[in-house]
Each structure stands twice: as C-alpha cells, then as structure tokens.
Amino acid sequence: MTPLTVNRDRLAQTFLELVRIDSVSREEGSIACRVCEIFAEELGAETKTDESRPLTGSETGNLVVRIPGSIPVRPLFFNAHLDTVEPGRGVRPVLQNGRFSSDGSTILGADDKAAIAILIEAARILRDTGIPHGPVEFLFTVCEEIGLLGAKALDPALLSAREGFALDSTDPNVLITRAPQAIRFTLKVVGKAAHAGISPELGIHAIQIAAKAMAGISLGQIDPDTTANIGIIRGGTATNIVPSECVLEGEVRSHDPARLRKVQDAILGAFHREAGRFREETKASLPLVQTDVRDDYPALCVPDDHPIIACALRASERIGSPLKLQKTGGGSDANILHGKGLTTAILGIGMQKVHSTEEFILLDDMELTTRRVMAIMEEWARNQKEGQQPTSQN
Ligand SMILES: [Zn+2]
C-alpha cells in the first residue's frame, strides 16, 4: 500500500477559504461555484449540477463530481453538504495551535465544510500520487440543514455509484451504520370558546383536554431504539376566553419501523381517547382531535458485513486508526440517500460543538479523516479487484 501523505497546509488553506464563503441554506451558489471550479478547472473532473432548485428553493442544485478510475472496479461515492446553519455569514476563522474556530460571533462551518476540504484534498492526492483507485464520485448537497431538501430532491440515477460514505458526523474514529426512521406529527384539539367569567360552562377547554391526554403518554427514550417528543404547544388567545384550540407538534424516531408506528399510535390514540371520553360524558359533539402525520426520513441500516463497512474497517486498520461502528439517534442526508437505494455509512470528521458559535475542529482530525478516505479508496480498489479475479479467469 502506498504511504499516504496529506498536504496539511494545503488542506488548512482550502478549509479556511471555504469557511469564508457564506453558504447558509438556500444561499449555496457561491460555494458551489468555487467547489465546481476546483474540481473542473484545477483537477479536470467531470462536474454536473442537478435540476433540484425548484424543489429546494436554493440558488443552485446539488453538485455531482466524477473522477474516473485507474482500475475498473465498482464506483464509490462520498457525500458532504454545502450549506451551514445561522449565524453563518461573514465567518472570520481563527487557526491557533492546530485548532480552527470562528471569532465567536458566528458558527465556524466545519459542519460540513471540513468534509468538503477533506474530499478536495483527497482528489488532489489522487492526482498527485497516482494511487490506484476505482471511479470516485463526490455528491455535494444543498439545504441539508433545513430538512435534507437537496438529498430529498436528488435523482439517484445521477450517480453511477450505489454505495458510499457521507462525511457528516463528529467523532473521527466512528463510522455510523444505523440511524433511525422519523415521523413528525401535528395534533389539533378543537374545543369551544366562551367568556371565562360570564359563561365558562358554555366553553370546551381545548388546552385542558390536551393536557390530560399528554399526562398519560410516554415521551423521551421509550426503549433503546425509540424516542418520542412533543416540542411545541400553542393554544389560547386571552385570559378571559376559554381556549377553543390547542395545537401540539411532535416527533417519533426509531430504528425499528414497527415500534415507531406503535408509539405513534399510542400518542395519537391518547388524544382521541381523551376527546372521546369528554364527548361521551357531556353528550356534546366537541371536542375533536385532528391529526397530521408526515414521514420525515427513512431508517438507515448498513449490515456489519456489507462490503463498504468491511472495506472501511480494513482500511482503518491499515492506517493504524481503527474505526468503531455506532448507531446514532439523529437523521441526515445519509438517511435519504440510503432510502433511495444508495447504501450510505456516515463517517465522523472531527467537528465539535456544531451548530454553535463555539464550533471547532482540529487540523489533526481533518488530516486523519483525509488519510482514512484515501485508505478507503485504495482498499476498495484493491479488494474489488481481487474479488473480480475468479470471474475474469473463467
Ligand atoms: Zn452536517
């Protein structure tokens, strides 16, 4: 295996340049343009921007970059997202003792520009060293932070690879192979308004009915695979009016789709039951409960013996930095890609305290991840090639 040398200074400079380009969700035009320029003009790669703009509302589409292989093996993809959260405008990065941070007034944007910088460095190493590798595709998505919109709008046929890695997690020694399915729901309890001082008996108190139902349901960590939350409650218009409406918004996540539906049914059922009990007791036609359930993202589950997992583990052993396989409770682009038939594992890159103005990342962790990505590319090519030999001899 070729010894891997990462150009640390080049990697650092690329990262500093990228975080200085504003790219909050839907405003990814400038960064997409710069990334495209690096790959197309400097590295001679094939680039393509998809037609997802009408669906995402972004200035640009998702960007797909294709680097041909020097060995004819199955292609492999690597994914990162182009957008950042707020406050993400006018980032002034600080590099001190190998640690990148912002000046404290904005996020840094290591989520996920560290990944973009790592993939650019990897492509430059491929060009400079002639390491044998198969076809590699990079997928840079838009609007990840506002609902995985770019990934949701992506036509998976734009990629020829069917398996790969998303670089969008924290611990650089962890590979995430399981992420939950999630749904979101809105519940509306419809009661009846009345003057709270003059004729409260004519009212049906929507908030109190919602409160009684809510007191009886389980939230939080329901079981090792499942969580549930009600995160927003709105209701009432004045202290002297019996509230006629109470709206609750929540979510359920589970690694087990059947458990997810059970917990969802238990929550919604508690509200229907409470409203039904009230109607029965009062012989009234109210309160009613209206529900709206939306699929948020599908589950991600890559078996431990899948070729990309085996490849990542072997490659990591080779560079002396073993990977731990873990599950996460969060959802990301990887869930969507996986749901579209693109088998995706999520690689940690070292970013820390993301989505806060204290966000930071160590150059050492970025270098390690670049070495890991290179080792994965090399191992994939080597192993796929060996795997093909028996058939080519027939
Ligand atoms: Zn991210």
Tens of pLDDT along 71-98? 999 999 999 999 999 999 999 999 999 9
Q: Would you say 57 and 117 are in contact if contact means Cβ atoms under 8 Å apart? A: no
pLDDT at site 3 = 56
Q: Indicate the domain borders of the chain.
A: 8-179+299-393, 181-297
Whether 42 is a known active-site residue: answer no
pLDDT at site 120 = 98
Give residue 384's pLDDT band: very low, low, confident or very high (50, 70, 90). confident
Ligand 1 mean position, distance from CA 65 (Å): 19
pLDDT at site 387 = 61
% of the chain at pLDDT higher than 90: 95
**Domain 181-297 belongs to what topology?**
Alpha-Beta Plaits (3.30.70)
User: Of these residues, 27, 137, 144, 145, which one is catalytic?
Assistant: 144
Ligand 1 mean position, distance from CA 392 (Å): 41
Q: Would you say 333 and 144 are in contact if contact means Cβ atoms under 8 Å apart? A: yes
At 195-247, the pLDDT tens digits run 999 999 999 999 999 999 999 999 999 999 999 999 999 999 999 999 999 99
Ligand 1 mean position, distance from CA 84 (Å): 8
**3-class SS at 296?**
strand
The burial of 104, by beta-carbon neighbours within 10 Å (0-12 exposed, 13-18 middle, 19 or more buried), is given as: exposed
pTM: 0.90
Ligand 1 mean position, distance from CA 175 (Å): 15
In this predicted structure, the answer to whether residue 349 has a pLDDT above a threshold of 50 is yes
Pick the CATH number of 8-179+299-393 from 3.40.640.10, 2.30.30.110, 3.30.413.10, 3.40.630.10: 3.40.630.10
Ligand 1 mean position, distance from CA 331 (Å): 10
Whether 144 is a known active-site residue: answer yes
**Nearest CA to 351 among 138, 81, 89?**
81
Q: What's the mean pLDDT in 111-119?
A: 98
Residues, CB-to-ion distance under 5 Å, ligand 1: 111-112, 168
User: Of these residues, 50, 83, 112, 274, which one is catalytic?
Assistant: 83
Cα 306 from chain centre: 21
Give residue 383's pLDDT band: very low, low, confident or very high (50, 70, 90). confident
Mean pLDDT, the chain, as a whole number? 95
Would you give the end-to-end CA distance of the chain in angstroms?
28
Instruction: Tell me how far apart the alpha carbons of residues 167 and 111 are, in angstroms, rounded to a whole number.
Output: 9
Give residue 394's pLDDT band: very low, low, confident or very high (50, 70, 90). very low
In this predicted structure, the answer to whether residue 250 has a pLDDT above a threshold of 90 is yes
Helices (H), the chain: 8-19, 29-37, 53-56, 110-129, 149-153, 206-215, 257-282, 307-318, 333-339, 363-393
